[in-house]
Structure 1
Amino acid sequence: MKDRIVIKIGSQVLTRPDGSLDITQMSCIVDQVADLHKKNKEIILVSSGAVASGKSELETISKLDSVSSRQLYSAIGQVKLINRYYDLFRHHGIVCGQILATKEDFSTRRHYLNQRNCMSVMLENRVIPIVNENDAISVNELMFTDNDELSGLVAAMMHCDKLLILSNIDGIFTGDPSHPESRLIQEIDTLKDDMGAYIQPSRSKTGRGGMITKYNIARRVAEEGIEVIIANGKTKNIITDLIQGKKVTSTRFIPSKKETSSVKKWIAHSQGFAKGEVHINSGAKQALLSDKAVSILPVGVTQISGNFEADDIVLIIDDHGKQIGLGRSSYDNVKATELIGLANKKPIVHYDYLYIENNL
């Protein structure tokens, strides 16, 4: 199988301080991606920059609220962004295609598989998918945290080997990157290392996410067996050097060797779609955290909350109120509530549709 790589490009990488597109930087990125493409690598580009580039094109007639301005600027800027990518890739004899995604496109298994099929067909035909959130309609609860989250979903969905998250920072530091005493963490093993004390909540001016988002996405994707690297997208030849395995200033997340099914990968990234909660007792938790393949049986459930239907995503909550996983419910909330504490009943969440966090 060919190497399949998702490269996420942050808006701060693609834009100048005034918000306009940095064409020179875009050209450098495309040159590197084109070179990998010609070497038979399958590349999926998750690119921000639509809202930022749209702002430089228009002065509004009146002051807009945050939602309206985001819709307007993204609608204008996405045309500009994809046209520029199209022209730059065409110089290399490469065809690219646009995919605009919303959170809803990942909320059901059917939508998820439809999207995966679309990208698969593009890759089979040597087309580079360029993915971005559809900001014109993704507002409020329909929004991804940012394109870091979207890139993680795409990497898991497409069974990728690597995810490169490129922004304006060199990686994850032991403190504020601007402080001289802070040091770069070059490698993270999500099964051993607890980075909670180090992660900074700061975020860029043009992006919505921050280092907490990057860390959480990278950790989850690495737990699914995908190598994740966070690096500075403005570093010269950063993509080429990372793929060639050169020593580059960055943070690498060691991929887990544990096999994760396609369905479990979908569920692992479905927290934003959860409709309810299944609370379990300590005995059920202990069983779930063991090496055995176990389901969540009614006898180990203590509480059901929320309004959900059968096949909806639910959060799994332990006896201390902490979320320990996600799953697809076999019942609606009414039936699940009726079954609480009963023995010899079918699982409320079957093992095949259950994802338990590895860092507990």
Structure 2
Amino acid sequence: MSDVLLHTTGRAAHITLNRPKAINALSHPMVLRIAEALTAWEHDPAVETVVITGAGERGLCAGGDIRAVHDDARDGDGTAAAAFWYDEYHLNARIARYPKPYVAIMDGIVMGGGVGVSAHGSVRIATERSRIAMPETGIGFVPDVGGTRLLALAPGELGTHLALTGAQIGAADALLCGLADHFMPSGSIRPFADDLAELPVPEALARHVRSAPEGELAGHRAWIDACYPADTVEEIVQRLSAHGDPAAKQAAETLLTRSPTSLKVTLKSLRRARRLGSLEQVLDQEYRVSCATLATHDLVEGIRAQVVDKDRDPHWSPATLAEVTDADVDRFFAPLGERELGLAPPGRAAPPTAHQARDEDHDR
């Protein structure tokens, strides 16, 4: 069977990611098939809504196929991984600009590339089973798929905390951070999908949306907003360690297990994303950074430790934050020339997204 299942029911077209044993991890062919379907449905007057879900019981999507990235970085020349990211990031931008309602059911695990195919949509639904995260610093990588923009727009320093630690959040915290729009019990997903065949999205939502259970991040805002505005990762760790809240100390301990290089590049990526004018510009930046990681030790080592050998014992190089210089970090942001994504050409305004007004209000 196909790794991406496509069908239409009434007024709704459905994308089902269909690699349940891999928690529907995205491969390059899957990205291309989704893009092709979106093009066809955009011009089909019978299709009024697009819905994306994941097969199986574990989640929408655990991310990109990082084992394939690992093999290309270790044994190849990186061109396959770069080509995958090129098309994946174009898909992320396409989803954000899609002219019809794009409904993402963020049930279960939604991480990395899974965030990219859901959180840029115009209707994002979390459930009591949702576990949403950008865990890239734990594999020697950096948040991508537009994740640095999404997290940069989160209230206060919540996004910095999530990006650096890779912490998983549930539905209420996803709503707080702007990664989801609605809460729906998982038992309502199928009836909701059935209603979309006949009803406009707002009417279907009204039948099934409920109040989300209480989250955790709101209660941690004090120490998060006090510690994470620091200019360097070293100072963030120091502030967290010195703070009296045990959760802050735990966050500091978590950071010290992550790739030091990834932490510093992630912090700079987030701070720069706050100043960039559009999702497309952020994706251009992320593409440069992602391609640069292919030449690093930490990407191969991190995926090896977490996914391939699963010994959970990565040996980072450089091993400490102090050993990662500003010049080391700056190299990740160097122009790529012909391999730039070209999503936001200079002087050309990108069309508004479904979330742009909300983003601009948040920036103010």
Normalising by structure 1, we get a TM-score of 0.30
Normalising by structure 2, we get a TM-score of 0.30
Greater share of residues in strand? 1
Higher Rg = 1
Greater share of residues in helix? 2
Task: Indicate the structure whose relative CO is greater, using CA pairs within 8 Å and at least 6 residues apart.
Answer: 2
